[in-house]
Structure 1
Amino acid sequence: MDTDRTASADPLDVTVEFLTPELRSELLKCWNEPQRRYHNPTHLRAVLRAVDALESDGESFDATAVRLAAWLHAAVCDPAGSENTEKSASMAERVLDPAAPIEEVARLVRLMGGHRVEAGDLNGAVLSDADLSVLGADPETYDAYAQDVRHEFAHVPGERFVAGRIAALEGLLERRSVFLTRAGRDMWEKQAHANLNRELGLLRVGVTGD
């Protein structure tokens, strides 16, 4: 159980079981790589804060496994490459202490490749909601996120990126709910729909030229 987590603490400094100082340093080097515009320490902080918020609102989950998975879920990030999620999961299997919940952490990291979480998977639901919590942020923060994603995938031609982005946003809006936990829905669902629909409208206007 973590004992030094407070609302004011930098999540990157908070103790997580099995996250040794050496491993923390190694992972922060990954998160600070120059090719990252969205999957950087700002995103990692946001995910960890969202995990804290879900925990504070009563969600039940394996806090150690979920927080370790948060640290590792985008440890490998090559926007022009492939299999980043699988490579991040393999990294988790390689760098974590044998006493850590390695199998569960790697499973959770792999889930983030498509956010396909089965009913009853509490750990997966919490990590998925935390990873997507930016969708329910204020409009300014959401717009910065969308711009950062476009910058991170600058190598993708405009029309191709827009088509993929539209498909991704439509997929999220077609779900019964964007967020899988009760707390996540309460905190972020309404704003997420407003943000997603607004961006989708702008993208469609750009495609049609209207």
Structure 2
Amino acid sequence: MTVLIDPPFWPAHGTVFSHLVSDATLDELHAFAKAAGIPERAFDGDHYDVAERHFERLVAAGAVSVSGKELARRLAASGLRIPARERPDKILPALRDRWARLLPQEPGLGESLLERWGEPHRHYHSRVHLLNVLEALDLLLPDAGLPADRQRGLLLAAWFHDAVYRGVPGQDEEDSAVLAETTLHSLPATERADVARLVRVTADHAPGPDDIAAQLLCDADLSVLAWPAPRYARYLRAVRADYAHVPDPDFARGRAAVVAQLLSLNPLFHSPRARSLWLGKAQANLRSELSGFERTSDA
């Protein structure tokens, strides 16, 4: 584990700044910054911005000076790097634009949902997850054969599927479905009911064999399982943070059961497009994760 710093280069506030990062854990980075007297407000998601006057002192304290290119490479390899498109100043406008195109007559509801998705206790079940699900649906819908008049309901179900999140499996999905039923006032009753039905399906990811919309929503929700290894590791850290209140042994048992259940799903992905994009990598990630739990239990 190494704390890295690049040379002061980035201009702001009448000086130039370095980036201070860890190539292993944010805990290590925060501990180093705290010991060095770097304020919390200097943290920007995956790095600290530190003014030029601190550079030599931080190197003397143990930060390793590397080029900006090397720092970016090692941060990305660690899985800690937040892609530019997932940063708050990028993600909120992108989601607002999507909502405005989806349900322009309900701008207040869109803002209310974005507030829910941005609640501070969320780590994985966040606005980033919402955008990832919507982008996964962008990939799946063109080849899915879902009638155009049903696509709005599917996209709304994506917006609502984790809108209520307290870390209580089953109940969160039910409460999210009820939220859809009670807030989508501008929709016909049949469409509103279908949105809520789709949200409920995400509780067990077991859509019916002819339920194309539910299959697509489940496929998009589970597309995270096929992320590249560094990003998958970041996903696992975020899931653990969502359940920080659960002791490590209990979390390990519960997560291992979830992984085993996902591996038992046949099919794991339902649409041909999702299977071609994600099935092999998702199964490899899940098997690797489960073997890690098994090695730990055998130790």
Q: Does 2:160 match 1:72?
A: yes
Alpha-carbon separation, structure 2, partners of 1:102 and 1:140: 38
1:124 to 207, 214, 222: 214
2:139 to 39, 42, 53: 53
**Alignment match, 1:4:** none
Cα shift at 1:21: 1.5
Cα contact 2:170–2:203 (8 A) shared by 1: no
1:145 alignment partner, SS class? helix
Alpha-carbon separation, structure 2, partners of 1:10 and 1:199: 32
RMSD: 1.7
Cα contact 2:180–2:196 (8 A) shared by 1: yes
Q: Does 2:164 match 1:88?
A: no
Q: 1:148 to 1:174 in 2, by over 3 A?
A: same
Cα shift at 1:97: 2.2
Shifted more, 66-75 versus 135-144: the winner is: 135-144
Q: Does 2:155 match 1:63?
A: no
Alpha-carbon separation, structure 2, partners of 1:197 and 1:80: 25
Alpha-carbon separation, structure 2, partners of 1:147 and 1:90: 30
Q: Does 2:263 match 1:179?
A: no
Runs of 4+ more than 3 Å apart: none
Gaps in structure 2 of 5+ consecutive residues: 1-92
TM-score (norm 2): 0.64
Deviation track 1:11-39 (CA, whole Å, cap 9, x = no partner) reads 55221136721111010000000110111
**Alignment match, 1:193:** 283
Cα shift at 1:82: 6.8
**Alignment match, 2:89:** none
Alpha-carbon separation, structure 2, partners of 1:175 and 1:71: 24
Cα contact 1:18–1:96 (8 A) shared by 2: no
TM-score (norm 1): 0.90
Gaps in structure 1 of 5+ consecutive residues: 1-8
Cα contact 1:23–1:95 (8 A) shared by 2: yes
Q: 1:81 to 1:116 in 2, by over 3 A?
A: closer
Alpha-carbon separation, structure 2, partners of 1:162 and 1:55: 35
**Alignment match, 1:40:** 126
**Alignment match, 1:161:** 251
For these two proteins, the number of residue pairs brought into alignment is 200
Deviation track 1:156-193 (CA, whole Å, cap 9, x = no partner) reads 11111111111111111122231011111010001001
**Alignment match, 2:187:** 99
2:246 alignment partner, SS class? coil
Alpha-carbon separation, structure 2, partners of 1:161 and 1:193: 21
Cα shift at 1:63: 1.3
Alpha-carbon separation, structure 1, partners of 2:105 and 2:218: 21
Give the partner amino acid of 1:178.
L
1:16 to 102, 108, 116: 102
2:129 alignment partner, SS class? helix
Between 1 and 2, higher relative CO (CA 8 Å, sep ≥ 6) is seen in: 1
Give the partner amino acid of 2:181.
E
Q: 1:187 to 1:140 in 2, by over 3 A?
A: same
2:102 alignment partner, SS class? coil
Q: 1:80 to 1:186 in 2, by over 3 A?
A: closer
